[in-house]
Amino acid sequence: DAGVTQSPTHLIKTRGQQVTLRCSPKSGHDTVSWYQQALGQGPQFIFQYYEEEERQRGNFPDRFSGHQFPNYSSELNVNALLLGDSALYLCASSSRGGSYNEQFFGPGTRLTVL
Amino acid sequence: AQKVTQAQTEISVVEKEDVTLDCVYETRDTTYYLFWYKQPPSGELVFLIRRNSFDEQNEISGRYSWNFQKSTSSFNFTITASQVVDSAVYFCALSEAGSNKLTFGGGTRVLVKP
């Protein structure tokens, strides 16, 4: 049973560029959340997708956008990259309905903005 | 607004010593969930334990135990007889009922020396 997968593993971009990160949820999961983790800090919630719609959003600017596909996989897009966007981006999947289920995290994509 | 505080930034112990990690949280919700995650150097967040706000019973799971006290809004975590493999960053997190959004603390780095 494959867990949460993310691609790419590492990415280097320059300021002003755009980036797309990808996530495939754990089998049987239908909800995907994205988190940003700056060096030495705890993860910060960016947004969550369910049924191909953004359901919740954290305190992030509109430069951060996402998408969820019919197979539940998801993309995170960041436009006009800033140096401060350098971080580990974590994807987490879970299943809606019934009792709350813990989120399973992927290995993350480390983005470096130069 | 929710907030999670982990006052200890780093703890260093010798193998076989016990380690207790402190976590204090703030929330206006009456129903919520508390979590502990482990983040080894590989970066992937590993789920350890979950507790809901209605269950203050403290439990032990293998070498892990936790102390949940609503009166002081604390959710402390103990690793008994620590091992070198326990070296990682540990995060306490909070989630409202009906939401999979996690609010993380800043993390506590645990270093277990042989």
pLDDT tens figures, A101-112: 678 899 999 999
Across chain B, which has 114 residues, the per-10-residue mean pLDDT values are 94 97 94 93 89 78 89 94 96 86 96 96
Count each helix (H run) and each strand (E run) in chain A, helices first. 0, 11
Q: Which of B4, B33, B45 sits opposite A90 (nearest CB)?
A: B45
Q: What are phi and psi of B70, to 5 degrees?
A: -65, -35
The minimal CB distance from A102 to the residues B50, B97, B106 is found for B50
What φ, ψ does residue B44 adopt, rounded to 5°?
A: -75, 130
Percentage, residues of chain A above pLDDT 90: 85
Contact pairs from chain A to chain B, CB under 8 Å: 59
Q: pLDDT category, A98, cuts 50, 70, 90? A: very low
CB contact under 8 A, A42 and B107: yes
Task: List CB contacts of B68: < 8 A, sequence separation 6 or more.
Answer: B34, B51, B55, B56, B58, B74, B75
**Residue with the two structure tokens 């070198």:** B84
Whether B106 sits inside 8 A of A92 (CB atoms) is no
